[in-house]
Chain A
Amino acid sequence: MEAAVFWFLVLFSAADLVGDPAQHGWRGRQELRELECERLSQADAHRRRPAEVPPTNMRSQTQMEIDALICQRRIVPFGERDDRDDVILSQLGDEVAALTAQAVASTSTSTRFMVDAFYPQPQVAAKVRVATLQRLAESGRATTTKMPLLAAGDIEVMQGLPLQDALPVACARLHAEGSMADDEAFLAVAVLRPQETQLHAGLCQNGGWRWLR
């Protein structure tokens, strides 16, 4: 009888191991990299996966801290897209939230935003631009998909400049040529170095340029 109880406890103890995502690791070290895991409190885990995680029990919570490890396989496996695209898209929501918060705080409520993204891959640039416009709209700001236009001669001159120098010059030229109204602001989102994995943001308003982040 004692032995039976003992083995029951052992099996009960080991039951968690069966569903442990680490079991995928026996196929090899790279296999675990394909899993996106997050450790959550039991309450948060129940909120997200009510069918799989039971609600919190006050009595058990006082005796031990219970949490859950939630894992899912990456939809796009490693190596299927460019590393920088992968990182930028992985953190796009957070980056865009941070830069739009600064842009919103730096302008008046009547300002209408034009947004452009400068990124080597046009598909990713489009995603960054749309995400930024959407976030600004969610923040209660007016946005437009209109883009300020520069004269061909200006563009030719600026093509030879590094992006971080070209944008302030472009801002001054846009103001001089009257391409932007006083209540409009141009928000540029850019990656400036091939080795960096963050988005920078600069704001052009009334001919004045400043980097926000």
Chain B
Amino acid sequence: MRATRAPMALAALLTILMAAVGGGCVTVTLYEPMGVLQRPTLVAPAASTFAETRIQVRCLASDDMPMGDAEKLCRLVSQSLRAQGADTETVVPRQLDESPPAVAFDGVGADLSIEIESATEHHYDYPFLSLVSCFTLTAIPSVAEETYRQHVVVRGRNQTVLAEETMRARFVTYNGVFLWAFNYVADWLFRDDDNDLSGDLGFKDFSKDFYGHVAQLTFNARVRSDLLGLTARSAKPLPAVPTTTPPTAPTTTAPTTTTPAAAPAPTPAPPATTTAPPTTTAPPPPPPAPLDEPPALLGTP
């Protein structure tokens, strides 16, 4: 009797293992922000950030972004902006060249239009490694990497481009039972909370970065819209901040004049990486409103 139970127990164990592996339960995903997503954001999520601002969110469907996913992305971005006081409307055009509706918000028109175009820029899954991983029941992990791109454009009332950025994020996903277990123990024993890798923390980090940068871009566009006189009169202007710097302070340096012909050899522009004197680090802004779902392009982790 015992002899017949052992193979059955082994088979059951293997089935559970296969289900866990197939279901993605033993994956570790590393999120690598690229370019803009690496930069900090300054807009603290507050209910008044976009108060009385009408924002239309357009998510463009494409081969990489099916209609359903585009709608989901639009809904989540809209939800994020509404949490910050904006009045939002979402549009998912069926074609890239489909023009926006002439009048949004029941004929009043949007103060800002956010256009999001998503694409998978790179995908590779190491086929031989995947094969070996399959044969070894993921004792040797399989690896897949993907790079996503989101091009975000914010337009004003007259369709002027006020701000635009291209955000890129790379995800490297390892699928292996031993690697997953080792990583779980490493999280528990060695890594602090900010550095844990288990679960869907990579996707959550991306969500935080993405929505944070969309809010920052929208805020920048809103300030520019106010400055250029594009914001509707009904919208409440953003509070101005008095400056402590006089508009034109007398200078003590001797004035020099250069003409293009006599211009000195150009000195290198101050690069982004120039070491600045250490400054007191401002306290980090509070985390954005929690969004349980990652952007639609990534699917469910």
Q: Which of B129, B228, B259, B269 has the most CB of A within 10 A?
A: B269
B152 to chain A, nearest CB (A): 14
Whether A161 touches B242, Cβ cut-off 8 Å, given contacts A22-B32, A123-B276, A196-B223, is: yes
Taking CB as reference atom, which chain B residue is nearest A134?
A: B266
Instruction: Report if A47 contacts B (CB, 8 A).
Output: no
List, in ascending order, chain A residues with CB within 8 A of B245's CB: 118-120, 163
A145 to chain B, nearest CB (A): 5
List, in ascending order, chain A residues with CB within 8 A of B266's CB: 134, 137-138
List, in ascending order, chain A residues with CB within 8 A of B273's CB: 74-76
List, in ascending order, chain B residues with CB within 8 A of A159's CB: 244, 246
- A145 partner, pick from B122, B194, B256, beta carbons under 8 A: B256
List, in ascending order, chain A residues with CB within 8 A of B247's CB: 118, 150, 155, 158, 163, 166-167, 169-170, 188
* Inter-chain contact B246/A149, CB cutoff 8 Å: no
Please, how many residues of chain A have a CB less than 8 angstroms from a CB on the other chain?
A: 97
Instruction: Report if A17 contacts B (CB, 8 A).
Output: yes
Question: Scoring B residues 187 to 207 as 1 if CB is less than 8 Å from chain A, else 0, what string do you get?
Answer: 000011011110001100100
Question: Scoring B residues 270 to 289 as 1 if CB is less than 8 Å from chain A, else 0, what string do you get?
Answer: 11111111111110100000
Taking CB as reference atom, which chain B residue is nearest A135?
A: B269
Whether A27 touches B195, Cβ cut-off 8 Å, given contacts A79-B281, A200-B224, is: yes
Whether A147 touches B42, Cβ cut-off 8 Å, given contacts A29-B196, A196-B219, is: no
* Inter-chain contact A124/B257, CB cutoff 8 Å: no
Taking CB as reference atom, which chain A residue is nearest B46?
A: A195
Whether A21 touches B32, Cβ cut-off 8 Å, given contacts A29-B194, A87-B42, is: yes
* Inter-chain contact B35/A38, CB cutoff 8 Å: yes
* Inter-chain contact B39/A90, CB cutoff 8 Å: yes
Whether A144 touches B197, Cβ cut-off 8 Å, given contacts A25-B32, A89-B272, A127-B270, is: no
B27 to chain A, nearest CB (A): 14
Q: Which of A26, A78, A146 has the most CB of B within 10 A?
A: A26
Question: Scoring A residues 121 to 152 as 1 if CB is less than 8 Å from chain B, else 0, what string do you get?
Answer: 10110010011001101101111111111100
Instruction: Report if A193 contacts B (CB, 8 A).
Output: yes
Taking CB as reference atom, which chain B residue is nearest A89?
A: B272
The docked-state distance in angstroms from the alpha carbon of A112 to that of B199 is 59
B138 to chain A, nearest CB (A): 14
The docked-state distance in angstroms from the alpha carbon of A148 to that of B201 is 54
* Inter-chain contact A38/B30, CB cutoff 8 Å: no
List, in ascending order, chain A residues with CB within 8 A of B279's CB: 81-82, 85, 121
* Inter-chain contact A200/B270, CB cutoff 8 Å: no
Instruction: Report if A48 contacts B (CB, 8 A).
Output: no
Whether A28 touches B191, Cβ cut-off 8 Å, given contacts A14-B126, A140-B260, is: yes
* Inter-chain contact B255/A197, CB cutoff 8 Å: no
Instruction: Report if A30 contacts B (CB, 8 A).
Output: yes
Taking CB as reference atom, which chain B residue is nearest A13?
A: B128
* Inter-chain contact B250/A29, CB cutoff 8 Å: no
* Inter-chain contact B227/A200, CB cutoff 8 Å: yes
Instruction: Report if A44 contacts B (CB, 8 A).
Output: no
List, in ascending order, chain A residues with CB within 8 A of B277's CB: 123
The 5 tightest CB contacts between A and B, nearest first, are: A28-B195, A146-B255, A127-B270, A75-B273, A162-B240
Q: 16 other contacts beyond A90-B272, A192-B227, with CB at 8 A cut-off?
A: A9-B128, A17-B143, A29-B195, A33-B38, A80-B278, A86-B39, A89-B274, A119-B245, A137-B258, A141-B260, A145-B257, A149-B250, A155-B247, A174-B248, A196-B219, A211-B227
User: What would 24 A/B residue contacts be, using CB atoms closer than 8 Å?
Assistant: A13-B127, A13-B128, A14-B128, A26-B186, A29-B196, A30-B195, A76-B273, A91-B39, A92-B271, A93-B269, A118-B247, A131-B270, A137-B263, A146-B256, A146-B257, A150-B248, A161-B242, A163-B241, A186-B248, A188-B247, A192-B241, A195-B42, A196-B220, A197-B41
